[in-house]
Amino acid sequence: MGSWGLDAPALVFVDDALIVIDKPSGLLAVPGRRDRDCAWARVAATHADARVVHRLDQATSGLMVLARGDDMQRWLSMAFAARGVDKGYDAVVHGLVADDEGRIDAPLAADWPRRPRQCIDAVRGKPACTRWQVRARDSGAGRTRLWLMPQTGRTHQLRVHLASIGHPILGDALYGGETSVLAPRLLLHAAHLAFEHPRHGARCVFESPAPF
């Protein structure tokens, strides 16, 4: 266990340009308003040049990349912004999804009266797109395992998009309604990351099996 009572992020890969970790569910990715404990702080305790490139929700587990130093942070941040990073998420949702694959295009904006919630907003929202594929259906439990491929990286995008089509991710306390109690945690895991290495250009692929 980590010194703050949560599992520490596992180091998946480390070199002079980047660090890839496997973040546990329940641990913040970056410092919060009240809680300074986070995945970045724990990595920075032993790798002082670690820099934040992207984030995962506190309830989401899985792969997260940190840069080594400011130059690598700029390079990797630009790669994310240019959609040069392939991301895949394993999720279990409520209900039996009828189609085998699909795409959700729905703009997202902050739901200010109910922060930190996000909402679909055709007027104020920023474009957001999620592709999905069915991996397995469990008719007995009334749930479906999906592979999610976000084409954009909006806050809570996967959670809002799946809830919007009537299939909230199990264990989602913000968007799951009555289904939030059907799992002990949010069943969403960042299982795949792939991008070109910022120094030598070789393709880097990282995989992490879902712990649920």
Q: Kind of pairing, strands 10-14 and 143-150?
A: unpaired
Side-chain half-sphere exposure of 38, counting CA atoms within 13 A? 21
Catalytic residue among 7, 16, 35, 57: 57
57 part of the active site = yes
Burial (CB count within 10 angstroms: exposed 0-12, middle 13-18, buried 19+), residue 178: exposed
Q: End-to-end CA distance of the chain, in Å?
A: 19
- Asked whether 27 and 47 are in contact (CB, 8 A), the reply is no
The whole-angstrom separation of Cα 95 and Cα 98 is 9
| Amino acid (one-letter) located at 27 | L
- Express the helix, strand and coil content of the chain in percent, nearest 5 each: 15, 35, 50
* Sign of the C-alpha dihedral computed for residues 180, 187, 167 and 95 taken in this order: negative
The residues carrying an active-site annotation are 57
